[in-house]
Amino acid sequence: MIDFSLPPELADLRERTAAFVRDEVIPQEPYMDEHDGLPQDRLDALRARARAAGLYAPHVPREWGGLGLGMREMAVVFEQAGRSLLGPVALNCAAPDEGNMHLLHVVATEAQKERYLRPLVEGTIRSCFSMTEPHPGAGSDPALLRTRADKRGDRWVINGDKWYISGAGGAAFTICMALTGERLDGRAGATMFLVDAGNPGYRVIRQIPSLDAGGAGGHCEVEFRDCEVGEDAVLGEVGQGFAYAQVRLAPARLTHCMRWLGVAQRAHEIAVDYANGRESFGKPLAQHQMVQQLIADSAMELHAARLMIWHAAWVIDGGGQARQETSMAKTYVSEAVGRVVDRALQICGSHGVSTDLPLAMFYRNVRPFRIYDGPSEVHRMVIAQRILRDAARAREAAPAASEAIAGAIG
Amino acid sequence: MIDFSLPPELADLRERTAAFVRDEVIPQEPYMDEHDGLPQDRLDALRARARAAGLYAPHVPREWGGLGLGMREMAVVFEQAGRSLLGPVALNCAAPDEGNMHLLHVVATEAQKERYLRPLVEGTIRSCFSMTEPHPGAGSDPALLRTRADKRGDRWVINGDKWYISGAGGAAFTICMALTGERLDGRAGATMFLVDAGNPGYRVIRQIPSLDAGGAGGHCEVEFRDCEVGEDAVLGEVGQGFAYAQVRLAPARLTHCMRWLGVAQRAHEIAVDYANGRESFGKPLAQHQMVQQLIADSAMELHAARLMIWHAAWVIDGGGQARQETSMAKTYVSEAVGRVVDRALQICGSHGVSTDLPLAMFYRNVRPFRIYDGPSEVHRMVIAQRILRDAARAREAAPAASEAIAGAIG
Amino acid sequence: MIDFSLPPELADLRERTAAFVRDEVIPQEPYMDEHDGLPQDRLDALRARARAAGLYAPHVPREWGGLGLGMREMAVVFEQAGRSLLGPVALNCAAPDEGNMHLLHVVATEAQKERYLRPLVEGTIRSCFSMTEPHPGAGSDPALLRTRADKRGDRWVINGDKWYISGAGGAAFTICMALTGERLDGRAGATMFLVDAGNPGYRVIRQIPSLDAGGAGGHCEVEFRDCEVGEDAVLGEVGQGFAYAQVRLAPARLTHCMRWLGVAQRAHEIAVDYANGRESFGKPLAQHQMVQQLIADSAMELHAARLMIWHAAWVIDGGGQARQETSMAKTYVSEAVGRVVDRALQICGSHGVSTDLPLAMFYRNVRPFRIYDGPSEVHRMVIAQRILRDAARAREAAPAASEAIAGAIG
Amino acid sequence: MIDFSLPPELADLRERTAAFVRDEVIPQEPYMDEHDGLPQDRLDALRARARAAGLYAPHVPREWGGLGLGMREMAVVFEQAGRSLLGPVALNCAAPDEGNMHLLHVVATEAQKERYLRPLVEGTIRSCFSMTEPHPGAGSDPALLRTRADKRGDRWVINGDKWYISGAGGAAFTICMALTGERLDGRAGATMFLVDAGNPGYRVIRQIPSLDAGGAGGHCEVEFRDCEVGEDAVLGEVGQGFAYAQVRLAPARLTHCMRWLGVAQRAHEIAVDYANGRESFGKPLAQHQMVQQLIADSAMELHAARLMIWHAAWVIDGGGQARQETSMAKTYVSEAVGRVVDRALQICGSHGVSTDLPLAMFYRNVRPFRIYDGPSEVHRMVIAQRILRDAARAREAAPAASEAIAGAIG
């Protein structure tokens, strides 16, 4: 039955995560370099405290050392973690490692898990995911994938260019998506490969200066030039790359939403406190109706965003792929959190623009979310196409059920 | 735990309601006069079929002859009923009777229930709720209430003007809100009275021509002129009128949302079918991205609207007053359903504007919902004030927890 | 040089038009039936007063009895006329007659002018323009035109169905657009015909019930069945129908904007007066910031709308076709006036919804303007395509001028 | 008469400015440091070329070495200059110097002009304007001004804190706004002072790290501590500070709009070129309707923004203060250019987010314009208050003219 309650242990985990972020993580923010993250010693200390607090790696199965949370539980906890850009890093549930851990857990062999998943969970290494390509390759349209891997004997040889590979700087390995079939029909023919950073055929060319910082390791251009890997580098089955991409992308899209919701909620609360603490035109800012309107709009959108995330998480927890639900959640949430941060910044005026408050940083970092993980335009196209297709099928199946509109729509 | 599943019996009730509206109610729409509703014989026959189908009076407690649904169940069922403007009438869960039944059930004496609630449930009479007043009385600000009831001996004498009283034409009785205290401070001092339509001091002056039709009985101006009633006409306790108004308004606000969501969902589906069935500029309308965008936006907003309704209903089912939740739901839903109907009309072009499709009728009827039950502006003000007040209290209680913004906001 | 001043005689004409509408036209509004317009005797009297006031037929050349205004002058005067839905009727510059007079003046033979234009200007007859067709004919995509006229001897025989023909009820003649070429390539092959209402092959089937009223004569379905006309019924040259449609449509689109701007400006002023006159929550509505925001937004949009109309009118006055400018103006203005009327209605609350104020009537009547004369979606497509095409050409012509983005956009 | 034509010499100046920015200024952008601007040698060379091209100091009167343009001419030229953030710097018409030159020219004594205006025009020094104060001083509400200047003998002693003083780093002098009356009633009592950077009582504390860069000199915190100046430092008359602020602010607000319009227009053109050059989902990006919609919306808003700027400039050229017109233009333009840049960034996807294109830089720098020069909320309040006040007066003056709404609005 429809229910929005949190079991006591989840409510407790939520409160403890919130307290940890408030008391431990946010005080570290002044030491964060936006491009390099927290200095390693501070990060190590912070993660040690997270482990001690029983908050570390919430999304990782218990047998691999995490809290073993399902998607709904993650939704609740990640939002709290996301209140600081450092929070997910502290709990080791930040992108892109979080999505890679999930993918490795589902698809990798035991040997691959030991080699890649274990240190990733332990936080001794970082990773990245090499999928997006520069023009005219695979950007928002994955069908344009151009990176290829060819079998030569028992080796695979990868060639291609990737860009906007988040976290590539300093990553110990990357998961590379490459064409392996003769041709691309029906999305068949791609395979994922595990490529070590030390592979001589793999190179990080540059960090792309960007509106957002992209977290530790930045957004990078990387290249694969006659990059040789063995059979043991194949992740899952040959030819299943696009299917695995879905395994990774739908949940990863949703965990992004969860974390950004935390950022937006914090921005909103900063603005609320600011409005309570300031005067303008003879009365507290909080009593100006235009400010109230900004606050009310943000409250409603944060509420709707949270519910859409929870709903999509529930579908995934029930075994569904939740493509439509995650597309809707991603599109709505990415736009809503942008508006919420924008309103918060507006309320705080010049303080909002300055770096005295974290709002300007949030403003820059949240903007690209409307582009990566599928631009809003592509999601809207796909959302509508599914609805239109389902309606056409339903109408075919039960033409009589099409109400009284037949006359009008011919 | 967070859950969006429907128990099998609720899912079944939903399907049966949907089928009844599709197969029985919508075919009656051509016989509906927007101002007078369905002719009595057709309405009686339709309600008989609803009873036979086990769908009648879903919100009424079982001991009074209804289905005894809770708010979440009502949310599911009312949305289906709401797909036709006739649906709630057919199931006898239309405004304002639905809210009056709820109020009577909670507050009325047994004698009052027998006299007013029973025939209301049975559908042999209609009722109305006399609260809103013309300027300078109680409009969106209830504190401006001017209608007064004075005690003379054991009689109450009511004087005042009301307007936009929905359903007053033909109603057998009205519930009248009047000041009974010396003065209005802290919202004390109002009382509700049950006034029979035949009372010589009560008069329906006119139906106010309006953008929407207002259902059977229209939106009326009524007056109370030395309108005498006895002690037995007092609904609940003297002086508790404003508290009872909350008993009625918060759920009534939400049931309005449920019904309008059904209208908007149907409008959306009509537009989807239309887009599938038409060509323009060399390809189906459904393949035009601007049409896809309209459809995707409506799908996301309908989804968010539904979830916000469900959430508020869950709070009420749990015993909460849900003032904030119903304010947010009412504001968001009333605006979202307006946009959804507007988009549907746009997609259907001249067909949407014509009465060949019901969209123009929906367009007119849904607009006032952004005004009645509290205009969007008033709800936004109240939503923000609650947030600001709670934040101020939290900050007072735990100043140290106010993160790193103290310096900036001084 | 950039100039926004009105010459004294135009400023005077504007004031006199405004005064006439305020003092003569608006007082007639209570006598208007939305579907049939003003009773004939009242209309005749009103037009006589307009003639006496020197305000009649402002758009008609002086030699035909009008004021001979250019487009910019029309922009100024039509806005004032448009403040009442009756204003353009009173001045005989309402759609569709106004556009037909323009088309006849530009294209018709002298004999046709005497027969059709003269009585039209004099106001003794009305006319309509038969272009739009029901599915699968010419709706927003004129290329789908299906009505045909075939030459048989020296007669043309027209066959086809039209709908949403505004003013067809009671019109003395219609201008019919029909295919006359072998096929439709490059929009060649259509011809316009003058068809008398009494032609036995022409029939007004019904007035289509619609969200708006459509003015006197309504929106009609009409049919042409073996409708014979002679050579003298050809308007302009055979095969030039689509070119003439542009002659009519671009200015007609703009005069629509002018008139609707007047409606929106009046709605705005009504709301401003209302806000000044009402109290809510302890202070005048005018002091509520959310109301101020609605008023400020409307003021800015009315301002922008007026300037865009003036600019497009200036292009046409200079001999330009102003396709891009009228597309932009039409799209922006149709949406802006809709928002302005919506805000005015919201400010006036239940009064706005009731017919005590004209806002609900405006609300219904302004909505279809986002659909007719080209839906917003089609205009946006065309606006963008022109920009993209021009940019592509410019880049081809001067590749070196493409700034520093060549690297990025490959 | 309404006219949008540019005289040939202005059209020529516009083309030459456009060409200069395209050929000379934009190629310098790679050498620009966002915080420090262009290296001095490059800047000097660029300005020399601007002088040689007859484009230097377009707003400065001819007798002071500029082009002596009026506001409408400035609107045309500044837009072209604004296409690069370096353009206004190259032509020495960037904020805050441009506004200070205007103020000095109108208010300063001849001696002050020689000392401050001449080198400012020549470009050998920079300046700043010290008005905004940190909380609880004068932010968006100037009535909160707290900085004071007290007369001691023939000296003035200034004390106070200012912040967000753009360009303060490296400025040779600042214009300081300080209270000089006994109290602040009716905005009386403030005076402007010319303070040299070397004054021991004046100190630039820090550049405030900010979302935007703020141009050379940054946004600074400055303090005045027993800062002594002589009578000759008084700018204009004692007590006229608020009046002079209006002299500076209304035009400065508008020149900001002109420059940002140039940025937005360029962003739009970059996106158009990008859409023409890229493929996605099997066809050029330019053929995707959702992209077309973004382009059309930006085109319409740029058009409206330009017209509103031109209109306000025309009012100022005619001797008006144009408070309402500049408030409307500032509010609309600041929001429109933000949306245009946002759309351009969205169209260009990851390229838009990266610094390969200047869009991310534009995105950061344009955002604060919705806050400085009066936040949108304050302008909306003021715009509406003027309208409401004027309507109340008009109604008082001519109650009979209030149409037929008297009954409804009481």
pLDDT given at position C182: 59
Window from A350-359, C187-196, C304-313 with minimum mean pLDDT: C187-196
Q: How distant, in Å, are the alpha carbons of C275, D243, D383 from that of D387?
A: 11, 22, 6
Question: Given CB atoms, is B279 within the 8 Å cutoff of chain C?
Answer: yes
Show residues of chain D in contact with C299, CB under 8 Å: 328, 383-384, 387
Please indicate whether, in this complex, the C-beta atoms of A395 and B291 are within 8 angstroms of each other: no
Nearest C-alpha neighbor of C13 from the set C59, C76, C66, C86? C76
pLDDT digits (tens, 9 = 90+) for A214-264: 778 889 999 999 999 999 999 999 999 988 988 888 889 999 999 999 999
Closest CB to C289 among A136, A288, A409: A288
Please tell me the distance in Å from C360's CA to the nearest CA on chain B.
5
- The interface pTM score, or ipTM, of the predicted complex is 0.94
Show residues of chain D in contact with C72, CB under 8 Å: 1-2
Task: For residues D193-198, give the mean pLDDT.
Answer: 97
Pairwise CA distance, residues D196 & C71, whole Å: 56
D182 phi, psi to nearest 5 deg: -65, -40
pLDDT given at position D185: 56
Listed by number, the residues of chain A in 189-228 with a beta carbon closer than 8 Å to a beta carbon of chain D are 208-212, 219
Please tell me the distance in Å from B294's CA to the nearest CA on chain D.
10
Question: What is the rounded average pLDDT for all residues in chain B?
Answer: 92
Tokens of C23: 């003092």
Please indicate whether, in this complex, the C-beta atoms of C405 and D313 are within 8 angstroms of each other: no
Structural contact between residues A329 and A254, judged by C-beta atoms closer than 8 angstroms: yes
Question: What is the rounded average pLDDT for all residues in chain C?
Answer: 92
Pairwise CA distance, residues B20 & A339, whole Å: 41
Please indicate whether, in this complex, the C-beta atoms of D290 and B289 are within 8 angstroms of each other: yes
Which H helix or E strand runs over A279? Answer: strand A279-280
Question: Given CB atoms, is D283 within the 8 Å cutoff of chain B?
Answer: no
Chain A contact probe: residue of C221, C285, C289 with most A CBs at under 10 A: C289
Does the structure show a pLDDT above 60 at A289? yes
Question: Given CB atoms, is D139 within the 8 Å cutoff of chain A?
Answer: yes
Closest CB to C388 among D3, D276, D351: D276
Cβ-Cβ pairs closer than 8 A, A with C, add up to 19
Closest CB to A308 among B307, B348, B410: B307
pLDDT given at position B143: 81
Closest CB to A303 among B2, B270, B328: B328
Question: Given CB atoms, is A355 within the 8 Å cutoff of chain B?
Answer: no
Please tell me the distance in Å from A15's CA to the nearest CA on chain C.
36
Please indicate whether, in this complex, the C-beta atoms of B292 and A384 are within 8 angstroms of each other: yes
Q: How far is CA A164 from the centre of its chain?
A: 14
pLDDT given at position A142: 79
Task: For residues D153-180, give the mean pLDDT.
Answer: 95
- CATH code of C243-394, in short, is 1.20.140.10
Show residues of chain A in contact with B286, CB under 8 Å: 384, 388, 392
Closest CA in chain A for residue C410: A135
Pairwise CA distance, residues D95 & C317, whole Å: 38
Please indicate whether, in this complex, the C-beta atoms of A391 and B278 are within 8 angstroms of each other: no
Closest CB to A354 among D209, D349, D381: D209
Task: For residues A265-290, give the mean pLDDT.
Answer: 93
pLDDT given at position D216: 81
Percent of chain A with pLDDT over 70: 95
- CATH code of D8-122, in short, is 1.10.540.10
Residue B399 confidence class, pLDDT cut points 50, 70, 90: low
> Please, which chains are in contact with D (at least 3 CB pairs closer than 8 A)?
A, B, C
Task: For residues D58-76, give the mean pLDDT.
Answer: 96
Taking every pair of Cα atoms in chain C, the longest distance, rounded to a whole number of angstroms, is 80
Which H helix or E strand runs over D397? Answer: helix D376-397
Single pTM value for the model: 0.95
Task: For residues D351-375, give the mean pLDDT.
Answer: 94
Question: Given CB atoms, is D296 within the 8 Å cutoff of chain C?
Answer: yes
Pairwise CA distance, residues D28 & A183, whole Å: 45
Closest CB to A370 among D219, D346, D372: D346
Residue owning tokens 């390229």: D351
Does the structure show a pLDDT above 80 at B371? yes
**Cα A373–A379–A385 angle (5° rounding)?**
145
Question: Given CB atoms, is B311 within the 8 Å cutoff of chain A?
Answer: yes
pLDDT given at position B182: 59
pLDDT given at position D388: 97
Please indicate whether, in this complex, the C-beta atoms of C291 and D356 are within 8 angstroms of each other: no
Does the structure show a pLDDT above 70 at D25? yes
Pairwise CA distance, residues C17 & C80, whole Å: 6
Percent of chain C with pLDDT over 70: 95
Q: How far is CA C314 from the centre of its chain?
A: 17
Please indicate whether, in this complex, the C-beta atoms of B355 and C135 are within 8 angstroms of each other: no
Show residues of chain B in contact with C367, CB under 8 Å: 345, 353, 363
Please indicate whether, in this complex, the C-beta atoms of B407 and A356 are within 8 angstroms of each other: yes
Q: Is D113 exposed, middle or buried (0-12, 13-18, 19+ CB in 10 A)?
A: middle
Question: Given CB atoms, is C270 within the 8 Å cutoff of chain D?
Answer: yes
Pairwise CA distance, residues C30 & C269, whole Å: 19
Question: Given CB atoms, is A351 within the 8 Å cutoff of chain B?
Answer: yes
Question: Given CB atoms, is A410 within the 8 Å cutoff of chain C?
Answer: yes
pLDDT digits (tens, 9 = 90+) for B152-207: 999 999 999 999 999 999 999 999 999 997 555 554 589 999 999 999 999 999 99
Please tell me the distance in Å from A292's CA to the nearest CA on chain C.
9
Question: Given CB atoms, is C293 within the 8 Å cutoff of chain A?
Answer: yes
Task: For residues C359-370, give the mean pLDDT.
Answer: 96
Per CATH, domain D127-235 is 2.40.110.10: yes
Which H helix or E strand runs over A179? Answer: strand A173-179
Question: Given CB atoms, is C376 within the 8 Å cutoff of chain B?
Answer: yes
User: For residues D166-205, b (16+ Cβ closer than 10 Å) or e, as one string?
Assistant: bbbbbbebbbbbbbbbeebeeebbbbbbbbebebeebebe
Nearest C-alpha neighbor of B73 from the set B52, B97, B96, B93? B93
pLDDT digits (tens, 9 = 90+) for D306-332: 999 999 999 999 999 999 999 999 999
Please indicate whether, in this complex, the C-beta atoms of A377 and D345 are within 8 angstroms of each other: no
Please indicate whether, in this complex, the C-beta atoms of A388 and B275 are within 8 angstroms of each other: yes
Q: How distant, in Å, are the alpha carbons of A159, A235, A324, C60 from that of A100?
A: 22, 11, 22, 73
Show residues of chain B in contact with D409, CB under 8 Å: 135
- Where along chain B do its domains lie? 8-122, 127-235, 243-394
Show residues of chain A in contact with C409, CB under 8 Å: 135
Question: Given CB atoms, is D408 within the 8 Å cutoff of chain C?
Answer: yes
Pairwise CA distance, residues A260 & A333, whole Å: 8
pLDDT given at position D409: 37
Task: For residues D33-58, give the mean pLDDT.
Answer: 92
Closest CA in chain B for residue A286: B388
Does the structure show a pLDDT above 60 at D278? yes
Please tell me the distance in Å from C374's CA to the nearest CA on chain B.
10
Residue A396 confidence class, pLDDT cut points 50, 70, 90: confident
